[in-house]
Amino acid sequence: MRARRGTARPVWRWTAVRVAVPAGLLCWLVLAAGCSPGEPPAPVPVTAGASPGRNAADDAATVSGAPRVTVPRDPGRLAGCHPSTELLGPGLVVPSTASPTTGAAGSGCSWTGPSPSGTGRGFLLRADVRAAGLDGTHRARDLFRAFRTGEVDGLPSVVTSPEGDPSCSLHVATSDDTSLTVQVGPVPDPCAVATRAASRLLAALPPR
C-alpha cells in the first residue's frame, strides 16, 4: 500500500522594502514647517479633481478650501525689480537696495527697509510672484506654524506666521493659478507692513 501524500502548503516570505525620500523633498518639508523668512514654500502638486485654473461662478472654493478668485489680476507687471520698487516707494523700502530674487517658488525682488532710527540696518522685505494660487498653500496648511485666512483688497490671503512673530509671510491670490507672496522682518507689526506693501503692488495690477 502506498503512503498518501499530503497537499503541499505555500511558504510565504516577507521582503523588507526601503523607500528613499529625496533630500530636496525632506528639506522642503522642514523649511515649510518653520516658515522662516527667505525662500517661500514651493506649491504642493494638485491632485486629480482640483482645477485651480477655473473661475466658475458656481464654485466658491477649490477642493482644498482655497477661495476662488472672482476677478483675477495679471501679476506680469511685477516682473523684475524696477516696477515694484517704484510702486513701493521710498517710504517703504530703500530703492537702491533692490535685488532680484529667483527660486523654485517664483521670482521677484527683495529690499532693505529704512531703519526706524535712521541709522543701522533696516528690515528686509521680499515680494515674489508665484505660478500657483493658494490651493497648494491650503493643502499644506498643517506644515505651517500658523494659518490665518483673510483678504487684501478683496483678494483671498493667508498669513503663515504666528501672531507676535518678528517676521510675517503673507500670501495673496492674484488668480486661481497665480499669487503674490510678501515677506517682511524683523520689524514691529510685520504683517501690517506686509499688507501695506501687498496693497501697493496689487493696486497696479490690471484685471485679466
Question: What confidence category does residue 28 fall into, taking pLDDT thresholds of 50, 70 and 90?
Answer: very low
Residue 31 resides in a domain: no
59 occurs within a structural domain: no
Which residues, in sequence order, are CB contacts of 162 under 8 Å at separation 6+?
Answer: 145, 146
Rounded-to-integer distance, Cα 82 and Cα 92, Å:
15
pTM higher than 0.75, yes or no?
no
- Is the residue at 20 inside a domain? no
Inside any domain, residue 128: yes
Q: Regarding predicted confidence, which is higher, 17 or 61?
A: 61
The predicted pLDDT at position 64 comes to: 80
What is the domain count for the chain?
Answer: 1
- 104 or 53: whose pLDDT is higher? 104
Residue 125 within any structural domain of the chain: yes
Mean pLDDT over all residues of the chain? 77
How many other C-beta atoms lie within 10 A of the C-beta of residue 200?
18
pLDDT exceeds 70 at position 91:
yes
Residue of higher predicted confidence among 176 and 207 = 176
Is 28 within a domain? Answer: no
Report the pLDDT value the prediction gives residue 82, as an integer from 0 to 100. Answer: 87
Residue 50's pLDDT is 42
Nearest CA among 63, 80, 205 for reference residue 136: 63
- Give burial (CB, 10 Å; 0-12/13-18/19+) of 183: buried
d(CA 32, CA 110): 20
For residue 123, give its domain range.
69-202
Indicate whether 107 belongs to any domain: yes
Decide if pLDDT at 181 tops 50.
yes
pLDDT in tens, 187-198: 999 999 999 999
Residue 128 CA from chain centroid, whole number = 9
Tell me what percent of the residues of the chain surpass a pLDDT of 90.
53
pLDDT in tens, 45-75: 444 344 444 444 446 667 788 999 999 999 9
CA 179 to chain centroid: 8
Residue 55 lies in a domain: no
Specify the CATH number for the domain of residue 101: 3.40.1000
- Binned at pLDDT 50, 70 and 90, residue 120 comes out as low
Which CA distances in Å does 139 have to 46, 85, 133, 154?
9, 32, 11, 22
* pLDDT at residue 89, rounded to an integer: 86
Place of cell 506693501: 197
Q: What is the mean pLDDT of residues 97-120?
A: 81
